[in-house]
A and B are shown apart, each in its own frame.
Chain A
């Protein structure tokens, strides 16, 4: 700080020209100095006395004279202070104090009228320099302390910026002095009779500048950090901060305010963004405060940040209606996670994702669904998920993956003991390598040396990543090895879990906040965040009136800002909370699942509650209850998001590489059931993104404002109908399922909300499949047995299934018969090459509610796989949107909600599942040939990152090819196998396939150059890794992630990787670096995904890798690029598998 201080411009002071520096030398006799002191003081004092009575106006000249003389005094005293080491004041300082120079100057300044600010400012400077020279020693002197405090209080209201600057400087010096001598702290604490601290002028003053821009703000924050550090050891100060200062509120609301100032669209890559810097700076300041302060302070601050910023601003931002805004918000959230490292703050961020519910859906569920969304949204989401995985956080992994694997239901019973098996002889790696597309193989013999070097590189990176991950997860609560906890234990623990179990401490806080908010009177009228904030903190007697009102104003201000930001249509939650109906707001935002109406999960996730529902209530009421829960949000809102988001034209028409947004083609020809982009609530962006525009706008219009009630009753009616048809439907069948089936027959019901129907399409497929038994392709023959099976599992409700099917399936079977055999890879490939138009029409067909229902339900063969995975939907009714079949069809399901998890916990009836997250990843991977390049890169990096985790349940599932899963569970290897198959078929017919592969390689290698950041690629650089096994940069750079080392830089192709990292290409490392530097990452992500597509010809000519071959069409090229990418990724995965096989239990024995 002192460095910039010296550079600070003094020229703006009119005193500058009068000021002559006194040449004080070391050898100067102290007596001379004393004499000089006396003479200066005498002259100054004379001038001052002339105006003591205030009758004669002070002139500028007089002020200057006085200041000039006092400045000389200051120089003398400072000189002495610097000379002497002792704590006792020397002669000059003694004179300075005994003459009460500061006090007299201060009192004189009040007589100076217009010159008062100037005098105060100069006085501040004097104090600051004295403090700097003398440290805390002078503070013990009352003659200094009293005027200083008085001056500080007086300056508080000073409007002048210059004075603010000086004030902050003095405060900073003061804090430095206090830190050096914590004992002095008491001098600045205003102690009440009862011993509590009610004021701390230094701290309160500093808080006002915490969000200031420039040097003032930085200095203030630095000084505040010293204070918070002091608070760690000073309980009185900590109590003051918590109860009497608005420090925590200012920080939390400041975050909201700064967030609201962030650009709402992904900014361009190299754009300088002061807003982003300011936001990150503020966030990191919070982080730093948390790391230094007293636990009491951090608890309050964390809660305020969580409620006031994350829940009320970040949460709604993630659920906005425009995809662009959501992409941006996702990226900002990732930026947040990457910017902080205080465990509490990380916890708050993760908690927002895992626990917070927006409109009844956990944020993480929404994110998982977005994996299947448009390319850009999926990219942003995957990037965020990758960052989450990089946290090595048990809670994240438990929620996303491990919870679903713990019951071991995905494995054949005989295989459960094999989970911990070590893959001694690299079977997994061999298998992975064998899945390299054939078109990439022949070249494998070309340059074995480069290949081996690349392989070494790969292996080394894998080892580093694995070691780091193993170390980081070594203190997790469980080992997740199939026995810790065992499936039975896992079941028991999941069962026991009451729906309201939440984070205890935070829950308590929330309740308190709620209560206070109700009684809070006028404060409750302020913005919700403000309400919460003051409520939580308001436990104390309250500050001085001034501070109080100031605080209110502050809160309102920031609250408004936040409202504006998140405001307008998006900020549902914020709006709710700011409404007088605070209660409801609480409930909506209550992420601990207490409110039944707002939390559908509470119904289904509680097995006991479910059982009683099904048992005690008649079918219809039960069904309607559930459908209501799912069909209507806790609080009806105009469905504007759907309209806004889906109706417009796709804002990101993808060019040659990425028609990833469009449905993958294979599905069509496979005749697989197209499970509509089902979603429980139409507000889900991930789903909406997939809706073709025309369709959804139609949907929207038909839906109108009052859609929910209508659709609800429709569902009920249909439910009744079906029950009549099919006999007794016992309790738990979701009425929606019935609704859909019925719809299928009736060809659509007027007045029924089509979107609702769509929402429940997968639900409908659930029971149909459920009745098919495990893996029997023949519908009819297996129907009965399947029913019996499920009947045995859960006797309550399945009887009707057979009726349902017999009633409705004939048409399905016909459909099935008409279609090509489902898993026909030939078709798949040809369809890959099919035009987008075909895609789109198929898509439309599948989305048309009425006639499409049949299609959806029909292809039973495909659906058969559904049973095991989603039988849970049969038992636990409301099937989350997207439980969809996977089997080779390439269909894009909406994965079931994570919150459905507890449904499958019962081991006896456990449904084989690997959880929605893995499912969504594999589904997206299945569409690799249609994904954009960048999406594929991220997807692969996410899966690779998962593979780094040493937990046997996950490791075995991903990397052990000999582990036999339930037939319905598709493993990574299987997905890769079908992908390879499709790629092989597609490339077989391509003319000059080797040339195409060469083109793809050079294209991938040319990317950094294409990004325009790296220097034009030198031929050597580009060609050296052209060897077969060369593991080009992209994947390497990607998977190394932020945690891994820059070790990837070791040679030709790694140089490419490095430059890529620099360019911020698709390398996450680069991205991480950018993010770390608080630069907007969005742009990188976005920009580069587009770039190669924009100018392919340009790239090719620049890298001089042969002429562009026009005979390859876009889809062929896409396939080739995917193939090359896959080759490299498989090598990387193989390396990971190998490293797992030799990973040792103990890490280090160093001596």
Chain B
């Protein structure tokens, strides 16, 4: 049985720095990166920045055809509400900054989020597992979102054939407002650090974990290796937002990396007289015009 190493596998191992397509999703490495990217990213696909009537009409057609309005809204705005709810969820997720978990919503549907999970300790140390979060259409009123691993993972909670992780055990009844998608991802991450064997999706793995810990460790190491071997493979989905890994190429990646390492300072942000508001309230008071006029 190999003891988990203390080092941080995915960061010490230099070579593959996953390619950002189109934007990094979320996580510690890009903590500064989050929100704005998302605003411009996939979730906004319905709201193109350049108004184009044709395009809009086409898209709204698509929307209306593909889904019926939300029963609650009784309006044609149902799909929008779903998207906004998911966008809000995504914003929440960003604030959590779950270590080693990166997600990005698919370009074609807001109901699928692609993710990648870096395991930094334990039996699955150094594993880089791709997964998808599949969100029910009724969200937030429907069932718990599902999580499906892309590469086979030998794990008591991962179904050996479908790759689906048993998340529902953590969320017997999905409650809007108290359950959020980041909870799902947190639960997923925890499952790889603290192995649970009760009511397993993969009984073999569960039994092995209980009875033959060494064997289990070997099998886990195997799937870690497998995950790393197949890291550079093209993703299963052809969605433009699916996460793709490629070798680090300085000419391509270095400028981006540098830019990320040096996030723009606040004063660089656009602010002119036109965009700036006014405040003459001296801190510590609630008196208007208490701040001396800046000359």
Contacts and interface: CB of A to CB of B under 8 A. Distances in A.
Contacts of B94: 1144
Given A452-B64, A1147-B36, A478 B281 contact: yes
Nearest to B177: A424
B282 A477 contact: yes
Given A1050-B51, A1146-B35, A503 B81 contact: no
A506 B292 CA distance: 9
B77 A457 contact: no
B35 A1145 contact: yes
Contacts of B52: 1050
Contacts of A490: 286
Given A472-B275, A1149-B263, A459 B57 contact: no
B35 A494 contact: no
B264 A1149 contact: yes
Nearest to A1049: B51
Interface in B69-121: 72-77, 80-81, 84-85, 87-89, 91-92, 94
Contacts of A343: 273, 278, 294
Contacts of A1050: 51-53, 56
B76 A1029 contact: yes
Interface stretch (A124-132, A323-331, A398-406, A537-545): A398-406
A392 B47 CA distance: 26
Interface in A810-853: none
B33 interface: yes
Residue from B59, B276, B284, B292 whose CB has the most chain A CB atoms within 10 Å: B276
Nearest to A346: B278
A434 B286 CA distance: 38
B42 to A, nearest CB: 13
Nearest to B88: A424
B233 to A, nearest CB: 28
Interface string A374-405: 00000000000000000111110011000100
Contacts of B274: 341, 1043
A448 B76 contact: yes
Given A426-B81, A452-B63, A1151 B260 contact: yes
Contacts of B38: 1144
A14 interface: no
B277 interface: yes
Nearest to B277: A392
Interface string B157-195: 000000000000000000011001000000000000000
B229 interface: no
B35 A430 contact: no
B184 to A, nearest CB: 15
A475 B84 contact: no
Q: Interface size for chain B: under 10, 10 to 19, 20 to 34, or 35 or more residues?
A: 35 or more
A485 interface: yes
Contacts of A393: 277-280
A354 B287 CA distance: 11
Contacts of A149: none
A433 interface: yes
Contacts of B263: 1149, 1151
Interface in A475-512: 475-478, 485, 490, 493-494, 496-497, 501-506
A1033 to B, nearest CB: 15
Interface in A421-448: 422-426, 429-430, 433-434, 441, 444-445, 448
Contacts of B46: 456
A1142 B290 contact: no
A460 B289 contact: no
Given A424-B89, A1148-B264, A503 B277 contact: no
A455 B80 contact: yes
Residue from A426, A445, A472, A505 whose CB has the most chain B CB atoms within 10 Å: A426
Contacts of B57: 449-450, 452-453
A751 interface: no
Nearest to B85: A425
A1149 B36 contact: yes
Contact of A460 (B47, B89, B284, B288): B47
Interface string B54-66: 0011011101100
Interface string B15-54: 0000000000000000011111111000000110001110
B271 interface: yes
A505 B80 contact: no
B75 A355 contact: no
A503 B290 contact: yes
B81 A429 contact: yes
B176 A425 contact: yes
Contacts of A527: none
Contact of B278 (A391, A453, A457, A1149): A391
Given A341-B273, A392-B277, A459 B80 contact: yes
Contacts of A1051: 51, 53, 56
Contact of A453 (B53, B260, B277, B284): B53
Nearest to A303: B293
Interface string A1123-1151: 00000000000100010011011111111
Contacts of B180: 424
Contact of B60 (A424, A449, A477, A1145): A449
Contacts of B14: none
Nearest to A496: B285
B140 interface: yes
A505 B294 CA distance: 11
A1144 B289 CA distance: 30
B198 interface: no
Given A343-B294, A354-B288, A1138-B84, A477 B278 contact: no
A433 B56 contact: no
A472 B279 CA distance: 10
A463 interface: yes
A456 B47 contact: yes
A1138 B264 CA distance: 28
Interface in B240-284: 256, 259-260, 263-264, 269-271, 273-284
B291 to A, nearest CB: 8
B140 A424 contact: yes
A1052 B276 CA distance: 33
Contact of A1047 (B51, B59, B81, B84): B51
Contacts of B293: 299, 302, 344, 347, 503, 505-506
B295 interface: yes
A351 interface: yes
Contacts of B286: 398, 403, 406, 485, 490, 493-494, 497
B3 to A, nearest CB: 39
A298 interface: yes
B285 A497 contact: yes
A476 B57 CA distance: 40
B281 A1138 contact: no
Nearest to A402: B286
B65 to A, nearest CB: 9
A180 interface: no
A448 B60 contact: yes
A704 interface: no
A473 interface: yes
Residue from A391, A406, A450, A452 whose CB has the most chain B CB atoms within 10 Å: A452
B85 A1147 contact: no
A1151 B280 contact: no
Residue from B76, B84, B271 whose CB has the most chain A CB atoms within 10 Å: B76
Given A475-B277, A1050-B51, A1146 B36 contact: yes
20 contacts: A299-B293, A394-B278, A395-B288, A398-B286, A403-B286, A425-B177, A433-B77, A455-B77, A471-B271, A476-B277, A476-B281, A503-B290, A504-B290, A1047-B51, A1050-B53, A1138-B80, A1144-B39, A1145-B35, A1148-B269, A1149-B264
Given A429-B84, A455-B77, A1146-B36, 6 more contacts: A399-B288, A426-B81, A453-B53, A472-B276, A1029-B76, A1149-B37
Instruction: For the complex of A and B, list the 8 residue pairs with the smallest distance between their C-beta atoms, beginning with the closest.
Output: A392-B277, A452-B60, A1151-B259, A1050-B51, A1144-B35, A472-B277, A295-B295, A394-B279
